[in-house]
Amino acid sequence: MSVELPDPVTLVREVVVQLARPEERPRWDTLMDAHHYLGFKQFAGRGLRYEAEWSGEWLALLGWQTGVFQCRPRDRWLGWHKAVPFRRPHLIGNNTCCALQCITSGPCSGG
């Protein structure tokens, strides 16, 4: 699909990033599976699905899920000792997946 895009500043001002509604989750899952280089089956644990929308079109999909309890580099950087992640699991989240829709004739990427 090729869309005439406004200048970058206008585009950024008009893009809306929002949590996908429950009825949008099947579409989100299908698109993420199709466009992410690793595919998508389901989140491990709890997950949040976000969509970036412009002019009624989904431009990007973002996924966050429950973070891992032990990650030495992260824990060292935060100054957390071993017990802290287990006391504060609500403070840990991982950006799990991101996919960009190709809306122009240029290259499209995701990670």
Both tokens of residue 52?
């970036």
- Domain layout of the chain by residue ranges: 8-100
User: Does the global pTM surpass 0.75?
Assistant: no
34-49 per-position pLDDT tens digit = 888 888 888 877 889 9
Phi, psi of 107 (to 5 degrees): -70, 155
| Whole-number pLDDT of residue 107 | 44
Q: Is 98 helix (H, G, I), strand (E, B) or coil?
A: strand
Out of 2-11, 15-24, 72-81, the most confident range is 15-24
Q: Is the pLDDT of residue 21 over 70?
A: yes
